[in-house]
Amino acid sequence: MSRIAATFENLKQDNKKALIPFITAGDPDPAMTVLLMHELVNVGADIIELGVPFSDPMADGPTIQRSYERALKHNISLENVLEMVAEFRKTDTETPVVLMGYANPVEAIGHQKFSARAKECGVDGVLVVDYPPEECEEWLESLKLNRIDAIFLLSPTTPERRIQQIAKRAKGFVYYVSLKGVTGSAHLDLNEVANKLVDLRSHISIPIGVGFGIHDSVTARAVSELADAVVVGSRIMKEIEESPREKILMNVSGFVKVLRTAIDK
């Protein structure tokens, strides 16, 4: 069983929902990332989603885009991100790590070479935002070969035919984007999410995580009642952006602790 599947299995037995915080690798600087990852686990993260900085993050809102820009000032490459995961794995062999990023840095390394290296460093899943299912057969092959889960996005506008198409390819969990727009957008319609999840569950057997627009304990709690996992990104990156460096660990862990408590309530 993959680390991601095992994590969801354990949570299910404990009757709990997964909390998946997102941080950008290399923001505010490369030395902070592994520290933050361990801290996130300490305060209750079940899976860590690590953003791979890209110069042109078309699907992300301003907060995550700025975090990518800060990371890129340190010339963070995809290989550097993999090294951070390897470093994290030295002391944490249980918490799944999912990379989220864009196609071009992956293609610069090459599908096969990247996937093999990612496995070696302890990556469990990869979500390439701009690889829809119809454009990535070879990519999926390379992930499969290296037993890495292919994480896919689903959106409120994804028609049924595509949900089935994605369900066939998705591994680990699927990531339902809870609203139209980019990461960090404001409005979240819980009724719509609830209805859509019923729809999705009729086609998808793996866990469903919900993200985009979750920004406090109330929204986190509400989403956790509907979904298998709660993904929080922009709000955490905002914490990192607005905190002085020496307070980042404290502030981020304080915020994630609040989410954890709300979800477990």
Partner 1 sequence: MAKNYNLPDMQGHFGSYGGTFVAETLIAALEELRDQYEYYRNDVAFQQEYARELKFYVGRPSPIYHAKRWSELLGGAQILLKREDLNHTGAHKINNTIGQALLAKRMGKKRIIAETGAGQHGVASATVAARYGMECVVYMGSEDMKRQAPNVYRMKLLGATVIPVESGSKTLKDALNEAMRDWVTNVENTFYIIGTVAGPHPYPMMVRDFQAIIGRESILQMQEEYGCQPDTLIACVGGGSNAIGLFYPYIDNKNVSMIGVEAAGLGINSGKHAATLLTGKPGVLHGNRTYLIQDDDGQIVETHSISAGLDYPGVGPEHAWLKDIGRAEYVGITDDEAMEAFDMLCRYEGIIPALESSHALAYAAKIAPTLDKDKLLLVNLSGRGDKDIDTVAKASGVVF
Alpha helices in the chain (DSSP H): 3-13, 30-42, 62-73, 78-89, 103-109, 111-121, 137-145, 160-169, 190-201, 217-226, 234-242, 248-264
Binding of residue 109 to partner 1 (CB under 8 A) = yes
Among 2, 77, 217, 261, binds partner 1 (CB under 8 A): 77
Of residues 11 and 52, the one with the C-beta less far from partner 1: 52
Among 2, 112, 146, 185, binds partner 1 (CB under 8 A): 185
Q: How far apart are CA 153 and CA 20, in angstroms?
A: 15
For 154, phi and psi rounded to 5 degrees?
A: -130, 145
For 158, phi and psi rounded to 5 degrees?
A: -70, 120
- End-to-end alpha carbon distance in the chain: 29
The answer to whether residue 92 is catalytic is: no
Q: How far apart are CA 137 and CA 169, in angstroms?
A: 9
Among 57, 96, 172, 213, binds partner 1 (CB under 8 A): 57
Binding of residue 182 to partner 1 (CB under 8 A) = yes
Binding of residue 72 to partner 1 (CB under 8 A) = yes
- Range in contact with partner 1 (rule: CB under 8 A) among 4-12, 154-162, 214-222, 255-263: 154-162
Instruction: Report the SS3 class of residue 212.
Output: coil
Binding of residue 84 to partner 1 (CB under 8 A) = no
The answer to whether residue 49 is catalytic is: yes
Q: How far apart are CA 126 and CA 252, in angstroms?
A: 24
Q: Build a one-symbol-per-residue string for 203-232: x at contacts with partner 1 by CB under 8 A, - elsewhere.
A: ------------------------------
Catalytic residues: 49, 60
Write out the residues near partner 1 by the rule CB under 8 A.
54-59, 61-62, 65-66, 69, 72, 75, 77-79, 102-109, 129-132, 134-135, 152-155, 157-159, 162, 166, 177, 180-182, 185
